[in-house]
Amino acid sequence: SQQGEEDPQALSIQEGENATMNCSYKTSINNLQWYRQNSGRGLVHLILIRSNEREKHSGRLRVTLDTSKKSSSLLITASRAADTASYFCATDGYGNKLVFGAGTILRVKS
């Protein structure tokens, strides 16, 4: 299956709640990145975590990386309606290219 698989496929939460998305991958990596895509738009880079890092924060975002389990999680705290989007993880395990998962569709209800 595709490297960089996210779960869940879709997530619906109330504004103010936390949202957690997971990503699994197959090969060794140098880094893992998370992107957001609003419907019909381009990708916005959220955060990059290197293989020697275990956790990284950026504003309301918290990313963890477990290289032994080949998995990462993205936590969005205190979600807002504007966080509604698709979220993708991408890994560089194959050299020149980023390999994306199918994404998690997050819907935040106000």
Under rule CB under 8 A, residue 31 binds another protein: yes
Do residues 26 and 93 touch, judged by C-beta distance below 8 A? Answer: yes
Q: Tokens 């060794």 belong to which residue?
A: 28
Query: Exposed, middle or buried: residue 59 (CB in 10 Å: 0-12, 13-18, 19+)?
Result: exposed
User: Scanning residues 37 to 66, which ones bind another protein (CB under 8 A)?
Assistant: 40-45, 48, 50
Q: Which is nearer to another protein, 47 or 77 (CB)?
A: 47
Q: How far is the CB of 104 from another protein (least distance, A)?
A: 10
Q: Return the SS3 of 95.
A: coil
Among 63, 92, 106, 108, binds another protein (CB under 8 A): 92
Joined together, the tokens standing for residue 31 give: 């880094």
List contacts with another protein (CB under 8 A): 2, 4, 30-31, 33, 35, 40-45, 48, 50, 88, 90, 92, 94-103
